[in-house]
Amino acid sequence: MVKISIALCTRNGEKFLRTQLSSFVDQTLQADEIIVCDEGSTDQTLSILEQFAEKLPLKIYKNPQQLGTYRNFEKAISLCHGDIIFPADQDDYWVPQKLERVYTYFKLHPEIDAIFTDALLVDEFGQTSGKKLWESFRFRQKQQEDWKKGKSLEILLDGNRVTGCTMGIRKSYFERVSPFPDSLPSSFLHDAWLGIMAAAENKIDFIPATYVHYRLHSEQQVGVKGIAGKPPTLVDRISRPHAEKVAPYLKTWNFLCQVREAMLDTNPKLSLEALHTKIEYLDRRAHLPETRWKRLKPTLLNLLSGYYHRFKDMDSEPLAPYLMFLGDLLE
């Protein structure tokens, strides 16, 4: 019989924890165990957990030292015995059908190892304006259609769309991709790792439904970030130092090189064509020579290979690829 586990990480969560635990009690399909890894809470978090001990199958572990979000979720998931595991934040609310619906999807799709869903964004009082999580990081109809066509890895390379609290994963899959790498940038969290590795194997899918009320508040450790800043003007582009121009591409290139190394260290057999291609594209942009005429070959290669079209921002104008080409050539 398939067992279900919840992996809950806590740290000074007294403000919202009761709401989350109550939503576990109300699930139409109950978890067989709830593993809690606490990061040294100094408020009433542990007391609240104890209050729910008779209602929920809680197993509480107190970390002797703080591990951080990435490692604490790795620990919590590793302690789970269930065949299907659901990572959980301390400050959300799960609709009653969450476990049952995701579990049913796993049952109907034995080839899938990881599933994620959308979520409703709410404030600290649980109120919502109707906005959803996927809107905040632009996982739109077009991206969802491309995902179904096998482009999940390419989509995740543009930015993570897989949020941990909306996920369900198979224990067997976690065991294949753990231990989590030490070499990844600090911004690359557990859900990004679980999502991108499953995408590389084409074993991740999504359900376009909102089974989580994702709470936004000032005390959360990880939240939703919007798109900040504005593009530089033409005068800015021409006058700024070349090193400043290529700095964002160099940063992303380094980041993806680290990700690729970690992925191949974990599974050398992975086919990472989309990742190799994007790294090649960024390598050319990040290492453009100071001398303009020497930039002609790498910029033409990116243009003729279709990379400017392939990797342009989804909200950019149709002429954007050609402006990117001219920018690389002239700035």
Q: What's the CATH number where 35 sits?
A: 3.90.550.10
Residues 6+ apart with CB under 8 A from 9: 36, 37, 38, 39, 69, 72, 73, 76, 87, 88, 89, 90
Cα separation, 323 vs 5, in Å, equals 50
Residue 221 included in any domain: no
244 plus 292 within the same structural domain: yes
**Token pair of 27 as six digits:** 């699930």
Characterize 83-101 residue by residue with b for buried, 16 or more Cβ atoms within 10 angstroms of its Cβ, and e for exposed: bbbbbbbbbbbbbeebbeb
Residue 20 included in any domain: yes
200 plus 257 within the same structural domain: no
Cα separation, 226 vs 23, in Å, equals 28
**pTM of the predicted model as reported, rounded to 2 decimal places:** 0.91
Count of helix runs (H) and strand runs (E) in the chain:
15, 8
187 CB neighbour count, 10 Å cutoff: 10
Please give the residue range of the domain that contains residue 307.
Answer: 234-330
52 plus 93 within the same structural domain: yes
193 plus 140 within the same structural domain: yes
Cα separation, 316 vs 287, in Å, equals 24
Dihedral pair phi/psi, residue 240, rounded to 5°: -75, 155
pLDDT band for 140, please (50, 70, 90 cuts). very high
Residue 226 included in any domain: no
**Token pair of 168 as six digits:** 């369900």
200 plus 249 within the same structural domain: no
12 plus 72 within the same structural domain: yes
Residue 101 included in any domain: yes
- How many degrees, rounded to 5, is the angle at CA 111 between CA 70 and CA 278? 55
70 plus 193 within the same structural domain: yes
Cα separation, 111 vs 204, in Å, equals 9
Average pLDDT of span 3-32 = 98
Decide: 105 and 115 in contact? Cβ < 8 Å.
yes
Residue 203 included in any domain: yes
Residue at a domain's end among 159, 187, 215: 215
pLDDT band for 331, please (50, 70, 90 cuts). confident
- How many degrees, rounded to 5, is the angle at CA 272 between CA 84 and CA 267? 55
Q: Tell me which residue of 149, 93, 152 sits closest to 126, measured CA to CA.
A: 93
Residue 224 included in any domain: no
206 plus 63 within the same structural domain: yes
In this predicted structure, what is the pLDDT of residue 234?
53
Residue 16 included in any domain: yes
78 plus 182 within the same structural domain: yes
310 plus 255 within the same structural domain: yes
In this predicted structure, what is the pLDDT of residue 17?
98
In this predicted structure, what is the pLDDT of residue 239?
62
203 plus 250 within the same structural domain: no
Cα separation, 313 vs 99, in Å, equals 35
pLDDT band for 242, please (50, 70, 90 cuts). confident
Residue 227 included in any domain: no
Sign of CA dihedral 123, 167, 145, 255: positive
Residues facing 120 on adjacent strands: 132, 213
pLDDT band for 226, please (50, 70, 90 cuts). very low
DSSP 232: P
**Token pair of 265 as six digits:** 């260290």
In this predicted structure, what is the pLDDT of residue 232?
57
- Tokens 């995902």, located at residue: 147
Give the CA distances from residue 23 to residues 28, 31, 92, 125, 274, in Å, rounded to whole numbers and listed in that order.
10, 12, 9, 15, 39
Residue at a domain's end among 157, 180, 215: 215
In this predicted structure, what is the pLDDT of residue 259?
96
Residue at a domain's end among 180, 215, 250: 215
156 plus 58 within the same structural domain: yes
Backbone conformation region of residue 210, classed left if phi is above 0, alpha if psi is from -120 to 50, else beta: beta
Q: Residue 158, SS3?
A: coil
**Quick one: what percent of the chain has pLDDT higher than 70?**
93
How many domains is the chain built from? 2
